[in-house]
């Protein structure tokens, strides 16, 4: 399960809008000091993300929550969004070489294959838009007790 901490902005029946700040992947990565994404995330406010999450816990606005999505769901979505257009691009570039086509035809076919892959990914995205398996889910409410410093009193 891939988890991220966020704050509840609004609630609806069975769902909550949660704003997260993407930091967990950068802080746990060993290559973060040489990574351009980490450097941009440090200076940019674009690392905030608002998402609609399934709310089985009936949270309240302002609560700090942990949302999660299964790894296999993320992998399936990544295959459709990245691998299918890439296969269309490569397939379109290779197809003309099978019958001895010139490189100009290969370029045109690769563009057509890439566009076809993007259209397939878009159609799949529209089909799965209401599939709750692809929605993040609120896993738990973060305890506010650990964030307060206890006061010591002298007797």
pLDDT in tens, 126-154: 998 888 888 899 999 986 654 555 556 66
**Percent of the chain surpassing pLDDT 90:** 41
131's torsion region: left (phi>0), alpha (psi -120 to 50) or beta?
Answer: beta
- E strands, the chain, are 2-12, 15-21, 48-54, 64-69, 137-141
- Given a contact cutoff of 8 angstroms between Cβ atoms, the answer to whether 135 and 52 are in contact is yes
Q: Give every CB contact of residue 130 below 8 A, 6+ residues apart in sequence.
A: none
């Amino acid at each position: 399960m891939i988890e991220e901490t966020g704050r509840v902005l609004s609630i609806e029946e069975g769902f909550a809008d949660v704003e997260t700040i993407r930091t967990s992947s950068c802080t746990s990565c060993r290559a973060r000091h040489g990574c351009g994404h980490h450097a941009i995330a440090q200076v940019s406010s674009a690392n905030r993300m608002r998402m609609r999450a399934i709310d089985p816990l009936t949270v309240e606005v302002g609560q700090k929550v942990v949302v999660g999505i299964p790894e296999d769901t993320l992998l399936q979505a990544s295959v459709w969004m990245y691998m299918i257009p890439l296969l269309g691009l490569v397939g379109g570039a290779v197809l003309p070489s099978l019958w001895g086509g010139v490189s100009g035809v290969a370029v045109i076919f690769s563009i057509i294959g890439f566009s076809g892959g993007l259209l397939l990914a878009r159609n799949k995205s529209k089909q799965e838009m209401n599939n709750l398996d692809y929605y993040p889910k609120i896993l738990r409410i973060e305890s506010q007790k650990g964030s307060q410093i206890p006061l010591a009193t002298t007797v």
